Amino acid sequence: MATTGFGVSFVDSDCKRRLMIYAGLLKKWQDKINLVGPSTIDDLWARHFDDSLQLLPFAGLWRNWVDLGSGGGFPGMVVSIAGGGERKTVHLVESDKRKAAFLREVSRETGANVEIHVDRIEKILPELISAIKFEVVSARALAPLEVLIGYSRPIIEKGGVGLFLKGKGVSGELTTTLTDGSLNLSFIDSRTDVDAKIVVVRGHNSQTNSV
């Protein structure tokens, strides 16, 4: 479980051990399938683990978190290892069967409490939302902001929060639909990339999640 503060240096020894298992598996599987950018593999802890961990302070209290387009597990798998537990489930949505197989192995080896859904977001997410109350929805480097919010709006309008890790071009993704006042968007400087942002999306009447 993560302690107060930010980044891998603030997690407890058991969490760090499980993240090390994750890192070892990722490096092993990277030779078979492209899970992360090859140029980032030697800076895995800062570029991927710390990048994912920085979302936790914005999540509030939660029991069910859904991560869209999870790929190599960022941020969803890291969130589950560092901020999850028996009563907290992270749902990972990934359409690539090979990446889903990798996520299953990480879950088995680390004990992460995740559920992996192998399907396209537009097909599986409405089914999940109809069955589960999600307090948080996240995505990293997946799609334009308008598309992400389109997927996530049913969660956000019911009091959930959207947490999206975006690169330096995020300002160019703002559209009239996103600035019409129906949602509250905050742009937080990333702690791992000077050009990147965390986009926090809430409904206007929502407060920090409570469960």
Domain residue spans in the chain?
8-203
Amino acid at 138: S
As a whole number of angstroms, the distance between CA 38 and CA 87 comes to 35
59 is written with which tokens? 């999540």
62 is written with which tokens? 């939660």
pLDDT for residue 65 is more than 90 = yes
**Confidence grade of residue 5 (pLDDT, cut at 50, 70, 90):** low
**What does pTM read for this prediction?**
0.90
At 110-128, the pLDDT tens digits run: 999 999 999 999 999 999 9
Locus of tokens 């092993």: 28
As a whole number of angstroms, the distance between CA 196 and CA 182 comes to 24
Greatest mean pLDDT among 9-13, 108-112, 164-168 lies in 108-112
User: What sign does the dihedral 207-158-1-101 (CA atoms) show?
Assistant: negative
Q: Which CATH architecture has domain 8-203?
A: 3-Layer(aba) Sandwich (3.40)
CB–CB of 166/145 below 8 Å? yes
Average pLDDT score over residue span 150-158: 96
**Confidence grade of residue 151 (pLDDT, cut at 50, 70, 90):** very high
Greatest mean pLDDT among 5-9, 96-100, 177-181 lies in 96-100
At 15-34, the pLDDT tens digits run: 999 999 999 999 999 999 99
**Between 101 and 41, where is the model more confident?**
101
Residue 182 has a pLDDT of 78
Q: Distances from the Cα of 66 to the Cαs of 4, 100, 182, 186, in angstroms?
A: 23, 15, 22, 20
As a whole number of angstroms, the distance between CA 20 and CA 106 comes to 11
Report residue 191 CA to chain centroid gap: 16
CB–CB of 201/209 below 8 Å? no
Q: Distances from the Cα of 43 to the Cαs of 20, 48, 62, 102, 150, in angstroms?
A: 13, 8, 30, 20, 32
CB–CB of 147/122 below 8 Å? no
At 25-60, the pLDDT tens digits run: 999 999 999 999 888 888 889 899 999 999 999 999
